A and B are shown apart, each in its own frame.
Chain A
Amino acid sequence: MKEERKVAVADRRSFLKLAGAGAAAGGAALMPGEEAQAAEAKAKPSLYRETEHIRRYYELAR
């Protein structure tokens, strides 16, 4: 029983890790003290469209 529970928790973790990876920065920047960290991740707004195209391309190429 206990063993079973452990497995379930591990599955949930890997699920969350996979699904939540994209939000690694989600909310981080709004928490006090984490501003600086988030500032490093700043991207140039003008590049957004381009990166999206490239992402889409990778997606299709998979």
Chain B
Amino acid sequence: MSRAAGLVGPGADVAPEDVLRARCYRLLARFLSSPPTADELAAAARLTGDDSDLGRAVAAFARVCSRASAASVAEEYHELFIGLTRGELVPYGSYYLTGFLHEKPLAKLRQDMARLGIERAENVSEPEDHIASLLEAMAGLVDGTLGRVLPLEEQKAFYAAHIGSWAPVFFRDLEAAKASVLYAALAGVGRAFLAIEEGAFAMV
């Protein structure tokens, strides 16, 4: 998916809380799509949070980032998601929902993405229901960087079908995974954030 983000950015008609939502989605997507660079780790180490659940999770994540090296995180990422034969976790919606890759949930996602006019980047061969692609898509739908800001009702439907249906379980698994250190802290951020999203979507 396009990383030309930031062009529409916090301007125009996007409410400040939606800018923050998109950032949160993007932060999670960034760390889950591939291991962070040293610069990204350093940037994440500077994040701060207040006394809310999400704030505490962000602060804890920043703390872990400040102690981690890019090399050790790359190793952790490999163990979690890639592995020698298979990583500890399989971060695809279809797998979580059906036990198999490339199943119906992926077909449904492709339909929805086609309807919304978003498609995976040409050089990507991975299925679209990877957790990072879904979170990145959501970010773009929230702040309009994928073309237009999606109305809340439709955001809610996309979230419920493709993220809410399995990502909270995935984050719980990630938090508990054996190889998980920095990613356990990231999972804490993910869980706290998705809980807020769910609470907010319930009001739509």
Contact = CB atoms under 8 A, between A and B. Distances in A.
Interface in A1-45: 8-9, 11-13, 15-33, 35, 38-39, 41-43, 45
B2 interface: no
B49 A23 contact: yes
A50 interface: no
Interface string B155-166: 000000000000
Nearest to A58: B51
Interface string A38-62: 1101110100100000010011000
A54 B25 CA distance: 30
A25 B58 contact: yes
B46 A41 contact: yes
Interface stretch (B13-21, B88-96, B172-180): B13-21
B199 interface: yes
B66 A45 contact: yes
Contacts of A59: 51
Contact of A19 (B28, B54, B63): B54
Given A9-B152, A26-B49, A32-B6, A19 B44 contact: no
Nearest to B55: A22
A29 B203 contact: no
A26 B80 CA distance: 23
A19 B52 contact: yes
B48 A25 contact: yes
17 contacts: A16-B17, A17-B17, A22-B50, A23-B20, A23-B55, A26-B27, A26-B47, A27-B24, A27-B27, A28-B47, A29-B43, A29-B44, A30-B44, A31-B5, A31-B6, A38-B47, A58-B51
Interface of B: 5-6, 15, 17, 20-28, 30, 40, 43-44, 46-56, 58-59, 63, 66, 152, 189, 193, 196, 199-200, 203-204
